A and B are shown apart, each in its own frame.
Chain A
Amino acid sequence: EIVMTQSPATLSVSPGERATLSCRASQSVSSNLAWYQQKPGQAPRLLIYGASIRATGIPARFSGSGSGTEFTLTISILQSEDFAVYYCQQYNNWPLITFGQGTRLEIK
């Protein structure tokens, strides 16, 4: 099983600032990495796939980078609606897809 580790567990950032979230895979997943956003009481929403490709309708302030074992999700100018929990997920080892434990992005 490929273990996905996200850091930090909680990130406190002020609106209008930049947020950088990290995700590390226990072995290479190439670029087969997705990011999801989940707000309280809601289902996850796909943000990024292929490590850096924004999903349909996702604002340009969300960007992803990385390959192999190290990945980053950057939110360039935080809006109030961006405060949520973010999960990375590898699908290189499909069907055994695995998620990180999540990073909670909170208002500073």
Chain B
Amino acid sequence: EVQLVESGGGLVKPGGSLRLSCAASGFTFSSYSMNWVRQAPGKGLEWVSSISSSSSYIYYADSVKGRFTISRDNAKNSLYLQMNSLRAEDTAVYYCARDSPGLMGVIDYWGQGTLVTVSS
């Protein structure tokens, strides 16, 4: 069974930093591109960042470019999101999400999410 379990969320002050983690299991993690997608309270879904299976290709939404860094450790079956210079508008549930095999951009599995709150 595919499982994606996020951790690392919490309350942080504006300008602060946070590192999210996602532990993957039930599939060959090193074979899949992965994503972070966020959802502000009561709002819709927003793609944040993607990383290819071997970390060769990394992409960011303009809203987080230069502030967030996505990475992965295939030996540990883990995905990460380093978030710096956090702003109030970064407040959201952050989902770790797997690309469907052979269908880049189609997300077939999602974690349950971790809440990040940016507030003074």
Residues in chain A within 8 A of chain B (CB atoms): 32, 34, 36, 42-46, 49-50, 55, 87, 89, 91, 94-102
- Are the C-beta atoms of A94 and B105 separated by less than 8 Å? yes
Question: Quick one: which of B45, B61, B95, B108 contacts A87, CB cutoff 8 A?
Answer: B45
Question: Provided the pairs A91-B103, A95-B59 are in contact, do residues A46 and B47 lie with their beta carbons within 8 angstroms?
Answer: no
- Are the C-beta atoms of A46 and B50 separated by less than 8 Å? no
Interface check B111, CB cutoff 8 A: yes
Question: Provided the pairs A44-B45, A87-B44 are in contact, do residues A94 and B104 lie with their beta carbons within 8 angstroms?
Answer: yes
Q: List 10 A-B contacts (CB under 8 A).
A: A32-B105, A34-B105, A43-B95, A45-B110, A46-B100, A50-B103, A89-B45, A89-B107, A95-B105, A96-B59
Contacts of A94 in B (CB 8 A): 104-105
Q: Looking across the interface, which residue of chain B has its beta carbon closest to that of A98?
A: B47
- Are the C-beta atoms of A46 and B44 separated by less than 8 Å? no
Question: Provided the pairs A91-B104, A91-B105 are in contact, do residues A99 and B111 lie with their beta carbons within 8 angstroms?
Answer: no
Contacts of A89 in B (CB 8 A): 45, 105, 107
Question: Provided the pairs A49-B103, A87-B45, A99-B46 are in contact, do residues A43 and B110 lie with their beta carbons within 8 angstroms?
Answer: yes
Interface check B112, CB cutoff 8 A: yes
**In the complex, A34→B106 CA distance in Å?**
7
**In the complex, A87→B44 CA distance in Å?**
8
- Are the C-beta atoms of A55 and B105 separated by less than 8 Å? no
CB distance from A50 to the nearest CB of B (A): 8
Q: Looking across the interface, which residue of chain A has its beta carbon closest to that of B110?
A: A43
Nearest 8 A-B pairs (CB), nearest first?
A91-B105, A43-B110, A94-B105, A95-B59, A99-B45, A97-B105, A49-B106, A101-B44
Question: Provided the pairs A43-B112, A43-B113, A49-B100 are in contact, do residues A99 and B106 lie with their beta carbons within 8 angstroms?
Answer: no
**In the complex, A11→B59 CA distance in Å?**
35
- Are the C-beta atoms of B47 and A99 separated by less than 8 Å? yes
- Are the C-beta atoms of B111 and A43 separated by less than 8 Å? yes
* Residues from 25 to 64 in B contacting A, C-beta threshold 8 Å: 44-47, 50, 59, 61
Contacts of A50 in B (CB 8 A): 103
